[in-house]
């Protein structure tokens, strides 16, 4: 790949902010990851969440243009990537979203031109590796093709690289309700020359190819999705963009995995040192390699929760689930039987000291809470795993639902196994769990 400016992750982040500052954007801090004042949302899942009221016209922004890096978590609700995390090399629970926003100020022309300028002139990504998608329209919603975005892109990129996309990929919505609009995505083809010559990159866009990935989404917010499902035109038109920071770093550092960049390498090295095991990045679906990635990912989600304690309900339970998932990975696949995650907190706090200083300030507290959580789950994990082993043995011959709702409930109630952890272990053993049966048991208990 021709991109050869070896910037560090910190430099890449700073370039983004400096670029938009030079285009008259105010640089603002990330909002907390746990959302306190929006009943439709538990965690910040996109950079635009904190600006929702500006889009809806309920409040006026003090600045017409802003940019930031936002801590996001996609583990529940409309945007949920948990199952892919660690298994692949480019989805995360917690990630940074670099974004620029216009509140009723500039629109498609500037947003598209600046995305192109930043990627190709500042970051110097090879133009031949870029593809863009635009909304093709949707007759059922009465929405036309985004011709304006198409025409703007035509100024920079050949038309055979502007691909139409459907409502699923090219109409972005915050949740079941809220601000939304057509979007244009930028994808980059990181495959080697040989592969690029044999298969046309156009055919791999939005096809889950690990080396042909979306890096930036530019949303043109024009509507509010209402509770009854209808779209209401907003009083003004806005821009909401989001670029996956970890993916961008990977592209610019010429890596094939986000985990091979300096965003994660410190955590992986620390985990190697603690466990005495080696991370082999080349073994994609090896359980030990997955465990390293899961830990490197999950510890960030656990650490950046702005004081939210793990608990049995709501946001606290999501944190607990992520933490327990990570514990099970190091316990089973790195053969490490003591609390591990909390030992990584100082490393992460230091790494992000100047980006998200709140973690650095609370590092000791976070360290203690995480250690206590780990200790508590480690007290029942082994017995729970043995119980699952028995269940697997008993069910090997069965053909449909193999782990009953009652057993899933017992694992949850007695051994502290969140249902998604039991589901994960069941899947690893080619079994399925009775989800409805578990829900019924839960109801009974309540």
Q: Which residues bind ligand SER (CB under 6 A)?
A: 46-48, 99, 172, 217, 219, 240-242
Check: CB of residue 335 under 8 Å from CB of residue 381. Answer: no
The distance of closest approach from Cβ of residue 77 to ligand SER in the complex, given in angstroms and rounded to an integer, is 13
Locus of tokens 């590092």? 363
Smallest distance, Å, CB 359 to ligand SER? 23
Residues 329, 290: contact at Cβ < 8 Å? yes
> Any idea what DSSP says for residue 61?
-
314 burial level (CB within 10 Å; 0-12, 13-18, 19+): exposed
Nearer to ligand SER, 217 or 422 (CB): 217
Nearer to ligand SER, 47 or 310 (CB): 47
Least separation in angstroms between residue 45's CB and ligand SER is 7
Contact present, 385 and 378 (Cβ < 8 Å): no
Whichever of 100 and 351 has its CB closer to ligand SER, that residue is: 100
Q: How far is the CB of 137 from ligand SER (least distance, A)?
A: 19
- Between 182 and 242, CB nearer to ligand SER: 242
Identify which of residues 153 and 336 has a Cβ nearer to ligand SER in the complex.
153
Nearest to 131 by CA among 48, 196, 45, 72: 196
SS3 24: coil
Give just the sign of the alpha carbon dihedral 410, 415, 420, 426.
Answer: negative
Least CB distance from residue 243 to ligand SER, whole Å? 8
From the CB of 48, what's the least distance to ligand SER, in Å? Answer: 5
Of 34 and 48, CB closest to ligand SER: 48
For ligand SER, the nearest residue by Cβ is: 242
Nearest to 324 by CA among 77, 95, 75, 97: 75
User: How much is the CA Rg of the chain, to the nearest whole Å?
Assistant: 23
Q: Which of 142, 139, 127, 136 is nearest to 184 (CA)?
A: 136
């Amino acid at each position: 790949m021709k991109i050869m400016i070896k910037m560090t992750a910190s430099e890449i982040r700073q370039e983004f902010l400096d670029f938009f500052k030079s285009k008259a954007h105010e640089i603002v801090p990330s909002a907390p990851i746990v959302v306190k004042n929006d009943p439709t949302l538990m965690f910040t899942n996109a950079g635009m969440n904190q600006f929702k009221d500006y889009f809806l016209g309920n409040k006026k922004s003090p600045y017409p243009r802003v940019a930031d890096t936002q801590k996001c978590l996609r583990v529940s609700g409309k945007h949920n990537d948990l199952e892919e995390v660690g298994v692949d090399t480019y989805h995360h629970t917690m990630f940074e979203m670099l974004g620029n926003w216009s509140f009723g100020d500039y629109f498609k022309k500037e947003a598209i031109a600046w995305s192109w300028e930043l990627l190709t002139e500042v970051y110097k990504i090879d133009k031949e590796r870029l593809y863009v998608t635009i909304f093709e329209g949707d007759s059922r919603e009465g929405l036309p093709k985004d011709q304006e975005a198409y025409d703007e892109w035509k100024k920079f990129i050949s038309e055979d690289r502007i691909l139409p996309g459907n409502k699923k990929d090219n109409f972005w919505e915050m949740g079941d309700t809220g601000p939304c609009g057509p979007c244009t995505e930028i994808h980059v083809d990181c495959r080697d020359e040989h592969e690029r010559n044999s298969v046309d990159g156009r055919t791999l866009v939005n096809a889950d190819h690990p080396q042909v990935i979306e890096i930036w989404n530019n949303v043109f917010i024009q509507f509010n999705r209402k509770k009854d499902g209808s779209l209401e035109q907003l009083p003004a038109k806005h821009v909401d963009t989001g670029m996956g920071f970890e993916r961008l770093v990977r592209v610019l550092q010429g890596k094939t995995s986000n985990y091979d960049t300096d965003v994660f390498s410190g955590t992986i090295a620390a985990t190697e040192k603690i466990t005495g095991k080696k991370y082999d990045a080349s073994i994609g679906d090896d359980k030990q390699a997955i465990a390293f990635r899961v830990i490197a990912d999950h510890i960030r989600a656990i650490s950046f929760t702005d004081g939210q304690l793990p608990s049995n309900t709501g946001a606290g339970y999501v944190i607990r689930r992520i933490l327990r998932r990570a514990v099970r990975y190091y316990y089973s696949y790195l053969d490490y039987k003591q609390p591990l995650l909390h030992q990584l907190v100082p490393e992460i706090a230091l790494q992000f000291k100047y980006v998200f200083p709140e973690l650095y300030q609370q590092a000791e507290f976070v360290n203690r809470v995480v250690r206590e959580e780990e200790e508590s789950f480690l007290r029942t994990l082994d017995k729970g795993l043995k119980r699952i082993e028995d269940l697997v043995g008993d069910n090997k011959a069965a053909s449909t639902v193999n782990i009953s709702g009652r057993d899933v409930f017992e694992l949850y109630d007695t051994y502290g196994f969140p249902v998604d952890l039991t589901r994960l272990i069941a899947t690893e053993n080619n079994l399925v769990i009775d989800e409805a049966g578990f829900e019924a048991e839960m109801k009974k208990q309540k």
